[in-house]
Structure 1
């Protein structure tokens, strides 16, 4: 049915990665916190092999950093100058994506994106800010993937995840949802200039 997205079926490793991702976004795993493979294996009831795979995945995403003989730890907060650079690079990628989307969104795409915004509103109403962050990312991820597939997502994703470690922007649910709705409305109207302006206003 249009507008109802099928739930994703995640592998065990993906579920664990999602949980650790949530712990980092929520601040339960603070920057520079060391991850203990043995403790994680016990927590999730797995051998250390799958845990190593998850750590490698999250390192590629920019959430963790691995050093020889020191194991993995949560990445540090970015220096303000680097954060500014990250924002600039992310904006450039997303503006590029928006330019590829002219006349590309189908009715099903629009319905999926509307559904994401409904989920975003509901997460704000529950004051579930970890979920808000993840849904916010999923909205942008949808557009990036539609514009350039996995290749463009793989370029973009580490920037957005690394920026989240510095995420201090406070906004109301209404403001956040409206910012994303302006992006979607402009795309629905085929107004790439307005959509580009809205993306730049959202990424800050």
Structure 2
């Protein structure tokens, strides 16, 4: 069944950035892998200029790290103490977002969030874990954008992407979908406290 969500047309740079995110999240480019601009330009049939722009974008997101005279490489996995800090900061941002939303979701927005969860289930059924990760992020991003627009998204997004370098496969598809469904159900009921609790339980 077709969803009501509008299909977003991505620019060439955005398409390349999305593919490289997938490569990193899926493990095709493991942590500390050095990226070669020339090889990437040849792969995507572009000059090195657009590739540099994409690398800069992914560096800002925390997926890549660039050093003078060394080029760019996939960022390293966070050590446990830093991962714990990232989880704490992300939880604070998302609880803030839940409090801002506070029973303001329209029927259309609820329908769109339900469609995201349906896509999440499909990706899990297909065992496409890179896609699972991206859809998971899109669910949370939808709420963050609803609460604070691009300004809040730009604060939140690097934490999420940096944490994803510690990504591990979902052990239970039902658990993954249920955790997100509990967030949405609480929002639909206008229960901010319960929604905040569900968000905290999901971010780990």
**TM, length-normalised to structure 1:** 0.98
Query: Once superposed, what is the RMSD of the aligned Cα atoms?
Result: 1.3
Give the SS at the match of 1:66: strand
CA drift at 1:169: 6.0
- Counterpart of 1:134? 134
Does the C-alpha gap of structure 1 residues 151 and 145 become closer, same or farther in structure 2, counting only changes over 3 Å?
same
- The superposition leaves residues 132-151 of structure 1 with CA deviations (integer Å, 9 ceiling, x where unpaired) of 00000000000000000000
CA drift at 1:4: 1.6
Q: Which runs of 5+ in 2 are unaligned?
A: none
- The superposition leaves residues 45-101 of structure 1 with CA deviations (integer Å, 9 ceiling, x where unpaired) of 000000000000000000000000100000001111000000000000000000001
Q: Which runs of 5+ in 1 are unaligned?
A: none
Distance 2:86 2:125 in 1: 30
- Counterpart of 1:4? 4
**1:3-42 matches, cutoff 5 A:** 3-42=3-42
**TM, length-normalised to structure 2:** 0.98
Task: Return structure 1 stretches of 4+ with deviation > 6 angstroms.
Answer: none
- Counterpart of 2:50? 50
**Number of aligned pairs?**
204
CA drift at 1:178: 0.6
Give the SS at the match of 2:166: coil
CA drift at 1:171: 2.8
